[in-house]
Every structure is written in structure tokens, then in C-alpha cells.
């Protein structure tokens, strides 16, 4: 058997956001690996199969089944130690859950050393420092991540959080509004809007296709606090202040 077929099929499911279907494909691949009937042609070493475990970990993480995802990531690292994508994904997953933070930071630091120009990995490093309460240390890598990933909603949202933590509140609000303009998921957008409201912004949501409503919102009198106007269009969320 050849793992490339399983990876290709699982990738098709994942591209359609059918992570349950992808997980089933990768589970079958792992069964073949562990039965010693599955390897990369021309490479008899088990290291060739690390990506199956990595992709399975991603599928289960997207399904919010972390107890199944974490062992897959760790198995991928066992097969391919210091692989930067796996180190970053596992490290970030632990950080985001507030688990094993020192270990997670160490993983992400290794990932940055191996691939120092990847903004999403530098974002993970900054976010780990943020979660550890090391806000001043998080600032420089967070700004570097934003330069490398200038239109990523998660990186921009994280930059806003770091700015808020170090007392740069107006810049934080500006970054959160920028994050809303970069087509976040609906869940991400709602979380960012809640922060804008909680930290002193009036948030007005409206249909971005109804230009009369947009015009009224832009010309409305101030309500006593900065206003973030959130407009939904086919291309995503847009904001103005």
C-alpha cells in the first residue's frame, strides 16, 4: 500500500471541511501502517508516514476532539522529530487550551528556529508568551508575525490582544477592527465583536449590501464611545471606525 493515496483522499475531504470524513480515511491509513502493510515507496523507514499522523491530528483538532488529536501529533513527532509544522501545530494547540505551556513554548521555539520566516509560527510563539503572561516579550514577535501575515484575521486579532495587554488600547481596537475586515469565520467575528464592545466600542452590525443602512451608520451621531461598524458582505466582514 502507498500512503499517498490516503493522503490525497483525506485532503479532498479536508478541502471540503468534511473533517469527519478525512479522519476516517486517516484512521484507515494508520491501521495499515500499524499492520506494517503501509509505507512510502522507496523508503522502508517509518519516518515516511509521519504526515498521515499529522493530518489525522489536524482532522481531529478541527472536530474539537483534542484527546484524539494530541496523540497523533506526538506520534508524528516521534517519527519525524523537530518537524516545524508539527511542532507548531501541537504547541499552538496546547497553548490555546492553556495546557503544558512550558512544553508548548519549547516546541514553538524549535519550530521558529527551523522556519523563522513563517508568520503563523511566529504568531504561535507570541501567543504562547501572551498566555504565559509575558506580554512585553510577546510584543516584538507578534508585530513581526503581523508583518509576515498582514491580512490574517487570527494573527491580527492576536496583535490587538497583545496591544491591549501592554496598555496600547486604541491600537488594540484598531487591530480588532482590521481583523474583522479579513474575512474571519463567523465564530471568530462574533468573538472579536464581543471584545470591541467590552473594551469600549459601540458595535453596529448591518447588511453590507444595503448601502442606505451603511450610509446611515457612517453619518450617525456619536453614541459616546468609538463606534465599530461591522458590515457583512459576500466577501466577509468589513469595519470602519
Q: What's the pLDDT at 237?
A: 44
Lowest mean pLDDT among 14-23, 54-63, 199-208, 223-232: 223-232
Lowest mean pLDDT among 20-24, 170-174, 231-235: 231-235
For the segment 127-153, the average pLDDT, to the nearest whole number, is 96
Query: Residue 44 pLDDT more than 50?
Result: no
Q: How confident is the model at residue 3 (pLDDT cuts 50, 70, 90)?
A: confident
Query: Residue 193 pLDDT more than 90?
Result: yes
Q: What's the pLDDT at 198?
A: 87
Per residue in 73-130, pLDDT (tens digit) is 999 999 999 999 999 999 999 998 999 999 999 999 999 999 999 999 999 999 999 9
* Nearest by Cα to 204 from 184, 182, 185, 221: 221
The overall average pLDDT reported for the chain is 84
For the segment 148-152, the average pLDDT, to the nearest whole number, is 96
Query: Residue 40 pLDDT more than 60?
Result: no
Query: Residue 219 pLDDT more than 50?
Result: no
Amino acid at each position: 500500500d502507498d500512503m499517498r493515496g490516503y493522503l490525497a483522499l483525506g485532503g479532498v475531504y479536508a478541502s471540503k471541511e468534511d473533517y469527519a470524513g478525512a479522519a476516517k480515511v486517516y484512521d484507515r491509513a494508520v491501521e495499515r501502517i500499524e499492520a506494517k502493510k503501509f509505507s512510502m515507496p522507496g523508503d522502508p523507514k517509518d519516518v515516511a508516514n509521519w504526515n498521515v499522523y499529522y493530518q489525522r491530528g489536524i482532522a481531529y483538532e478541527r472536530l474539537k476532539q483534542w484527546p484524539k488529536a494530541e496523540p497523533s501529533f506526538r506520534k508524528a513527532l516521534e517519527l519525524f522529530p523537530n518537524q516545524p509544522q508539527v511542532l507548531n501545530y501541537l504547541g499552538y494547540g496546547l497553548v490555546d487550551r492553556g495546557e503544558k505551556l512550558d512544553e508548548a513554548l519549547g516546541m514553538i521555539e524549535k519550530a521558529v528556529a527551523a522556519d523563522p520566516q513563517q508568520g503563523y509560527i511566529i504568531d504561535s510563539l507570541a501567543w504562547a508568551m501572551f498566555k504565559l503572561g509575558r506580554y512585553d516579550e510577546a510584543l516584538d514577535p507578534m508585530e513581526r508575525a503581523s508583518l509576515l501575515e498582514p491580512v490574517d484575521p487570527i494573527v491580527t486579532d492576536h496583535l490587538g490582544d497583545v496591544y491591549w495587554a501592554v496598555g496600547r488600547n486604541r491600537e488594540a481596537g484598531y487591530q480588532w477592527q482590521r481583523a474583522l475586515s479579513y474575512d474571519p469565520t463567523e465564530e471568530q467575528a462574533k468573538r472579536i465583536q464581543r471584545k470591541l464592545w467590552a473594551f469600549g466600542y459601540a458595535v453596529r452590525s448591518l447588511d453590507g449590501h444595503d448601502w442606505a443602512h451603511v450610509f446611515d451608520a457612517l453619518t450617525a451621531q456619536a453614541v459616546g464611545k468609538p463606534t465599530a461598524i461591522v458590515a457583512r458582505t459576500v466577501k466577509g466582514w468589513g469595519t470602519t471606525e
